[in-house]
Amino acid sequence: MKCFVWVSLILFPALSFAETYTLIPESYCASSGEKLEFTCKQESAFSGAELTIYKKDERWYGQETLKTLTEPKKNVFPLSLTKQNASVMVFDYPVLYSGIATIVLIKKTGHYYFSEISYSESLGEQNSTVEGGRFIVDK
């Protein structure tokens, strides 16, 4: 039995440990309005927020941790894993308004890309954001 467990751990290491991905943003580009005129900055799109992706009970979750003056504020939400292979993991991310958001983790390079395209009926405005950075894997 011990031999089976060791062989399983060697052949399928991802099954033996829960993985956590901490995203470290490096730059973003954003556009508002009808034309795709992006402005880019070398910083996070959402300053003061840290995003972590983790698996718990066979489901994927995202956790935003916002830095506040008193204590960190955490927001946990479900993610849908839409594609996974040796090179990438692709997640659908919930959008506050109508639209779609996707997080792509490029495993081979340790980089991620977050893209969101949304429309707010109440504001009558469409927005597009693309953020890039790197990620750290904790097991």
Cα–Cα distance measured from residue 118 to residue 91, given in angstroms and rounded to the nearest whole number: 16
Cα–Cα distance measured from residue 20 to residue 106, given in angstroms and rounded to the nearest whole number: 14
pTM: 0.77
| Centroid of chain to Cα 109 | 15
Q: List, as one string, the DSSP characters of the chain.
A: -HHHHHHHHHH-HHHHS--EEEEEEEEEEEEESSS---EEESS-SSTTEEEEEEEETTEEEEEEEE--SSS-EEEEEEEEEEEE-SSEEEEEE--SSEEEEEEEEETTTTEEEEEEEEEETTTTEEEEEEEEEEEEEE-
| Centroid of chain to Cα 21 | 8
The residue with greater pLDDT, 68 or 48, is 68
Taking residues 39-49, what's their average pLDDT?
Answer: 73
Nearest partner of 110 among 52, 24, 2, judged by Cα:
24
Taking residues 88-93, what's their average pLDDT?
Answer: 94
Provide the CATH number for the domain formed by 17-138 in this structure. 2.40.128
pLDDT in tens, 94-128: 777 788 999 999 999 999 999 999 888 887 888 89
Query: Tell me, what's the pLDDT at 70?
Result: 86
